[in-house]
Structures are given as C-alpha cells and as structure tokens.
Amino acid sequence: MHVWFTRAGNAYSKVNESLADRSRLSSRSQQQSTSDPESLGVGAAPASAVARDEGSLQGAAGVFQALDEAKVGRRHWLTVLTAGMGFFTDAYDLFIIGTVTVLLTPIFHLSTAQVSLLNSISLLASVLGALVFGRLMDRLGRKKMYGVEVALLVAGAVASAVSWNFWSLFAFRLLVGMGVGGDYATSAVITSEYATRRQRGRLVATVFAMQGFGLLAGPAIASILLGAGLSKAVAWRLMLGLGALPAASVVYLRRRVRETPRYELAIKGDVAGALESLNWAVGDQAVELAWSVPDGGGLSKPRLADRPYLMRLVGTAGSWFLLDVAFYGNSVSSPLIMKALEPHASLLSHTLISLAIFALAAPPGYWLAVFLMDRRGRRKIQWQGFAVMGAAYLAMALLPGGSRDVAPFLALFALSYFFTEFGPNETTFVYPSEIFPTAIRGIGDGLSAGAGKLGAFLGALVVPSLLQHVGLRGVMAVMAVASLLGAILTLAVLPEPMGKSLEEASAEDGIGSGPGVSSAPLGDFGYRAAVTGGAPSGAAGEVDLEVAEDSVDLEEVEAVLGAALEPLEAESSPS
C-alpha cells in the first residue's frame, strides 16, 4: 500500500490516538508530533544509502529487533538440540576411530600409513563438506540443506560398521567426513540467525558443547565393549555403528526447521516468509503487520574478497586451522600418545585414562565457555585459551620429566584440554556464524570450518609419524607453536561481536536495493511503524507496523490502521 511519508505519519498518529485509552504514553511520546515523518525514523536519508551511526546499524537491525530482543524460548532450544546432536556424533567419531584403528591393525593388517589415513580421511572429506554445504546454503537457502548433511553422516557411520577391508572403510569414512563438514557449516549459521542478541553466543556455543558428551560417550562405550570381553572383530563394528544413532534421531527434526528470517528477508526479499519464520521462532513475542513487500528487497550483496571480510576470514579460518592441528592431532591419536607414555599398559587402560581426562577437563571447559561467552566475550576467551594451551604443551615438551612421568604429563594434558574447550574450540565455532553478512555467511563459515578440518586432517595424519620420529616431546613442541600463533592471530585481526545484533556484528548493509529501511524505536505500546523510504521524488514509501508485546490487541491495531489508511488507498487507486 503506497502512501506519502507525511500521510504515513498521520496514519500512525491515528493508531496511537485509537489505542491511547488502553496504553499509557510517556510524556515524550505524547509531545512528539507524529505527523512529521522524522518521528517514524524516516529522516532525510539519500536514496543511495542508509544513514548509519558508528557501531550501530539502522535498517536491518531495526527489522530484526523483535528477534534480537525476544526471550529465549522453546523453539530456540529445539534448534539448539537439533543442531547439537550432530556434534555429539562428530565428537564420538573423533575419539572412537583412534580405538577402532588399533583394533583393526591386526585384522586388516594395517600399516602405519593406513592407520594415519583412516584416522584422518574423514577430516579431509569434511573440508569439502564444509565448503560445499556452506556455498549451497547461501545459494539455495539454509532449510533446503539442513538435514541432508546429517543424513550423509548416518549413512557413512552405518556403512563403516559393515566395511570388509581397508579400502571399503576408507571410502565410507569419506562419506562420514562430508556429513561432518556440512554439519559444521549449517548448524552454526542456522542457530546464529535464529538466536537473540544478548544470548547468541550462549546458544551457538551450546550446540558445540554437545561435543563434550560425545567425547565422553566414545571412550565410555569403547571401555564397556572391551571390558565385556567381546571379540575385536565384533567390538570395532559396534563402535562405529552406534555413532549413527544420535545423528539419525534428528534428521526429521532438522527438516522441520523453518528457513531463517534473515535469509528470507536479506536474500530472498520475502517479507511474508520472514515474518512467518519470526513467529515460528518467538511465537507471540513479536508480530509484524506488513501491508506490502518492498520492491527489490534484500540486502546489498557483499563479497568475501572485500578487505574487511577477507581479513575476518583470515582470522576465523587461520585460528580454526591452528586450533585443530593441536586439538585433533592429540584427540584422534590419544591411544598412540597414551601408548608412547605407557608402552606396556593395555588398550583398555589407555582408553580409561583418556576417558578420565575427557571427563575431568572437557565438559567443564565446554560449559564454562557457554556460561561466559556473552559475559567475557569471544575474543578474550579465544586468545587466553590459546595462550594456556601453548604454555601447557611447552611445559610437556621442555620440563624435565614432562613427557616421561605419567602424573605430570596427564595433569598438563588435562589442563590443555580444559583450556581448549574453555577457549578456541568453542569460539572458533561461534565466530564465523556472527561476523559475516547473511549473503556470504554460509561460505564464510564453510571456509573457516574447512580450514579447521584441514588442520585437523594434518594433525591427525602427522602425529603418528611425529611420534615415531621426534617422540612425544617433539609432538608437544609442535602443538605449542600452533597454539601460540593462534593467540597472536586472534588479537591481531578478530573483532568482538558480543552484545551486538547479528547485522551490526557482521557490518551488514541496511535493507533495500539502494533505499533503506529506517524505523523508530519501539514505543510505549510495544510497536513501531517503519517506512521504507529514500525513493526518488514522486515515489511512494511503504508502511509496516510491528507489535512486540502482547499487551496490544493485534486485531484492533490492524482494524484501526486499515481504517486510517483506507481513504489513502482509495485516493491512490487508479480511476
């Protein structure tokens, strides 16, 4: 419905007057002249741009204010649980493959090179998975890809359990890796785009914290199967096949998640679809009454090659790469590391030691990071975690007895694990889902995750050989260097997105193709009229009314606004 800006102001004024008997206006609102279009936040912005104050965005941030300021509800936690099950499976598989290859070495007559490949090939495949799914999410939408990646993971896990030789297992591990990589790209972005501003870090970090349960489940199940006296030929198949269960449980739920409001509006320009998704996520906390869709809607299209985003990509991808060299190298090869530390102990003993370390260090680290993510900030948690990891690895490499005496080594190893989780293992997952605009968020996250999985592949591939050639101390020295470089990179290039809207954190342009959307803050009624403007002289603006509190009768609002605008509709209709 097209109206002149001044008439839009008059319509908004009539709504205020009709609802005044039900809501108390503040003295500032009563004195404000709503016949002036600036009272609606339209101002005199030029057609070529949306005015933007330093550190804040108008336009997109205003459109999504209802989502940003909503209380965390059932649909938020459903999204988190649905996303988190994939990471439970990822962490379970991360540990279990190291135990499986130890069991399979005499059965499949595996060489050291083949063990390294089986331990790492799914990580290499996850690089491709992250890139492919990240790109397709930006092109086709978040919803169309969500659930496909976890279905690949399930299929790969089941097939791995029935493999018959090295090459069949190798091929099925590729399939698992594709699913894992796709899960990294899709789950973080979808959770972030649905999350509220103040608790976005906590919600996205909770998804990743499900890894902690997977890290416990892996050695726990391995210990149970080994302790039960099952033959190696049966035990390894059960270990791999059980990994499919948690992921399979959420395939249907992922397919039911709606397209995110941000993708609907920013990429597709579908206001109606965005509002349906918004209401699906936050229910009656926010309802927007939209009478028309802005022509050519959607955000301007940024490029990943633009310097600000390229530098952010260097930070997110580089720090994730360095983290995973250390983290996956140690985690996948933990049975070999334990064997190098205690060469005469049994596989069950090594598995139980790994379980104890994970139980004492990993879950507390994960959940402390979740608790403090929106209090201390991503940047501080990340660089401090890298620094403590580097110090612990360096101590294991340099201190007398640091790599020979069991007790000091295990204490330092557990410390490094704690600050991996209460540090970059959480934040490298959160960061890329926040600091890239919607149009390139999928590929930005996919490239970052892909770089991380490449580091994981190299770490898992190289550690077994490093243990043979430079020993345990040499391995820890390499991990120390990677960790300290990660701390430096974090401080050098990564911004702090804590407390900012997703649009502000990603430096996203205002809504509209040239013109933008400006909007007034939520008024005392809990609603806002927004006018898309900046059009050339003689063109029309458009009116949206957003209601963010259920203290207002929405049907009455619609009826009053419709009555106020009806004469304008008749006047503007062609005779």
Share of the chain above pLDDT 90, in %: 34
- Tokens read off for 189: 């972005």
Q: Write out pLDDT tens, residues 118-151.
A: 988 888 899 999 999 999 999 999 999 999 999 9
HSE of 302, CA atoms in CB hemisphere, 13 A: 26
Average pLDDT in the 484-500 region? 95
Lowest mean pLDDT of 146-160, 262-276, 510-524, name the range.
Answer: 510-524
Closest Cα to residue 260, out of 409, 137, 101, 127? 137
> Which helix (DSSP H) or strand (DSSP E) does residue 312 occupy?
helix 307-332
CA distance 90 to 10: 57
Name which residue leads in pLDDT, 278 or 245: 245
Closest Cα to residue 448, out of 262, 322, 331? 322
CA distance 417 to 426: 12
- Tokens read off for 572: 């503007």
Name which residue leads in pLDDT, 543 or 431: 431
Q: What is the pLDDT of residue 48?
A: 32
CA distance 346 to 228: 15
Average pLDDT in the 223-246 region? 89
Q: Write out pLDDT tens, residues 336-352.
A: 566 666 676 676 777 77
Can you point out the beta strands (E) in 183-322? 287-290
Name which residue leads in pLDDT, 402 or 2: 402
**What residue type is 77 in one-letter code?**
W
Q: What is the CA radius of gyration of the chain?
A: 27
Q: How confident is the model at residue 70 (pLDDT cuts 50, 70, 90)?
A: confident
Lowest mean pLDDT of 216-220, 291-295, 390-394, 548-552, name the range.
Answer: 291-295
Q: Write out pLDDT tens, residues 178-205.
A: 999 999 989 999 999 999 888 999 999 9
CA distance 285 to 289: 13
Share of the chain above pLDDT 70, in %: 70
CA distance 148 to 250: 11
- Tokens read off for 195: 């999350």
**Collapsed DSSP state (helix, strand, coil) of residue 518:** strand
CA distance 520 to 58: 10
Q: What is the pLDDT of residue 222?
A: 86
Q: Are 120 and 435 in contact (CB under 8 A)?
A: no
CA distance 184 to 208: 9
Q: Looking at the predicted structure, is the pLDDT value of residue 172 above 70? A: yes
Average pLDDT in the 485-510 region? 88
Q: Looking at the predicted structure, is the pLDDT value of residue 462 above 50? A: yes
Q: Are 539 and 71 in contact (CB under 8 A)?
A: no
Q: What is the pLDDT of residue 201?
A: 93
Q: Looking at the predicted structure, is the pLDDT value of residue 42 above 60? A: no
Q: Looking at the predicted structure, is the pLDDT value of residue 542 above 60? A: no
Q: What is the pLDDT of residue 93?
A: 83
Residues in the chain: 575
> Which helix (DSSP H) or strand (DSSP E) does residue 24 occupy?
none
Name which residue leads in pLDDT, 22 or 516: 22
Name which residue leads in pLDDT, 38 or 490: 490
Q: Looking at the predicted structure, is the pLDDT value of residue 252 above 80? A: yes
Mean pLDDT, the chain, rounded, equals 75
CA distance 510 to 297: 10
CA distance 536 to 5: 12
Lowest mean pLDDT of 339-343, 436-440, 445-449, name the range.
Answer: 339-343
Name which residue leads in pLDDT, 527 or 61: 61
Average pLDDT in the 216-222 region? 84
Q: How confident is the model at residue 555 (pLDDT cuts 50, 70, 90)?
A: low
Average pLDDT in the 511-515 region? 32
Q: Looking at the predicted structure, is the pLDDT value of residue 317 above 90? A: yes
Q: Looking at the predicted structure, is the pLDDT value of residue 24 above 80? A: no
Question: How many degrees, rounded to 5, is the angle at CA 127 between CA 121 and CA 132?
Answer: 130
Average pLDDT in the 158-177 region? 94
Q: What is the pLDDT of residue 12?
A: 43
Q: Looking at the predicted structure, is the pLDDT value of residue 155 above 80? A: yes
Q: Is the pTM of this model over 0.95?
A: no
Q: Looking at the predicted structure, is the pLDDT value of residue 383 above 50? A: yes
Lowest mean pLDDT of 32-36, 191-195, 309-313, 442-446, name the range.
Answer: 32-36
